[in-house]
Structure 1
Amino acid sequence: MFSAARFALTNGQRRAFSTSSSRSYDVAKLTLVGRLGKDPEVRTTKSDREYVAYTVATTNYPPPPPNPDGTRQEAGTSWHHLISFNPAQNNYLKSLTKGTQVYVEANFELREPDPNADSSTSAGQRQIFLRHETIRVLRTPHSQNTSE
């Protein structure tokens, strides 16, 4: 009875973690929880494709460790610039306002600088490209909550 199972384990297909087939693509994801730094803006590409650009501010927490004299630097703020090419999501994004606390998932791409570009321009510098995947509103700004 167990000989068939033993045969399958010894001579059948074996898949070890390190030899398993890889996915057809690799993904780099970024998760942000922060506030919209300004109202989302509708923009168009050079080929007249509409997209929405928005900025999420996050606070680096916990703050850095104390200095040798015991003082502590304040936690810094990071600004993340995202774009969305999804028309269904864009209508929703346009309704959000500055100060809205959001949970965002985005695809992350690091673009290397153009070696022929001037290093003082954006094309001559390494850029982080964040493409919007999902967004969830966690809290609206206080000015919108006055009716509650």
Structure 2
Amino acid sequence: MLSILRSTASRALSTRGFATTRPTADLAKLTLVGTLVKEPEARLTKNEKEYVVYVVATRNQRLPPNADGERPPTTSTFHRIVSFNENSSKFLKTLRKGAKVYIEAGLEMREPEPGADPSTPLGQRQIFLRHGKLQVCL
């Protein structure tokens, strides 16, 4: 009888009350809606594998007026995204500068290399965006 209670209690702790699907691994995803800054660029890895890099600009929210009643100018953030998927890369290369796009990208934080010069990219924390999904907004 005690074993039945234990198995029921452990099953209750392992289930999620808000979902009926199996739990998945942790996920870090970024969704962007913005404008292609320039045409996507094909590059090669050290192993001669092609990948595509593209940059999307998003506008930041307008700030409230300052004490003088003037609003500061709107700023933009630029996001560099990398695609290693061959089919996605073919499609990306057809896009032109100025296209309005919806992007889902995996987000990865890379810590600085120990002992690297802080003024170099290896000495700084980097945000790596891996292409997941793209749609062109009309």
Q: TM-score range by the shorter chain?
A: 0.7 to 0.9
Query: Does residue 88 of structure 2 align to residue 89 of structure 1?
Result: yes
Q: CA RMSD in A?
A: 2.3
Structure 1 window deviating more from structure 2 (100-109 vs 119-128): it is 119-128
- Runs of 5+ in structure 2 lacking a partner? none
Which structure: larger Rg? Answer: 1
Distance in structure 1 (CA, Å) of the matches to 2:79 and 2:7: 52
Distance in structure 2 (CA, Å) of the matches to 1:115 and 1:133: 30
Per-residue CA distance 1:27-62 (angstroms, 9 max, x = gap): 10000000100000000111211100000000012x
Distance in structure 1 (CA, Å) of the matches to 2:12 and 2:96: 54
Report the CA distance shift for 1:11/1:46 in structure 2 as closer, same or farther (over 3 A).
closer
> Who is 2:135 aligned against?
136
Whichever residue aligns with residue 58 of structure 1, its letter is T
Report the CA distance shift for 1:9/1:125 in structure 2 as closer, same or farther (over 3 A).
same
Aligned positions, number: 128
> Who is 1:25 aligned against?
25
Distance in structure 1 (CA, Å) of the matches to 2:92 and 2:114: 35
The equivalences for 1:1-148 within 5 A come to: 12=8, 13-15=11-13, 17=16, 23=23, 25-61=25-61, 63-139=62-138
Q: Which runs of 4+ in 1 moved over 3 A?
A: 8-11, 15-18
TM-score by length of 2: 0.84
Whichever residue aligns with residue 14 of structure 1, its letter is A
Per-residue CA distance 1:85-108 (angstroms, 9 max, x = gap): 000111000000100000000000
Distance in structure 1 (CA, Å) of the matches to 2:87 and 2:37: 22
What secondary structure is seen at the aligned counterpart in 2 of 1:119?
coil
Distance in structure 2 (CA, Å) of the matches to 1:24 and 1:103: 24
Distance in structure 2 (CA, Å) of the matches to 1:89 and 1:79: 21
- Offset of residue 65 of structure 1: 2.1
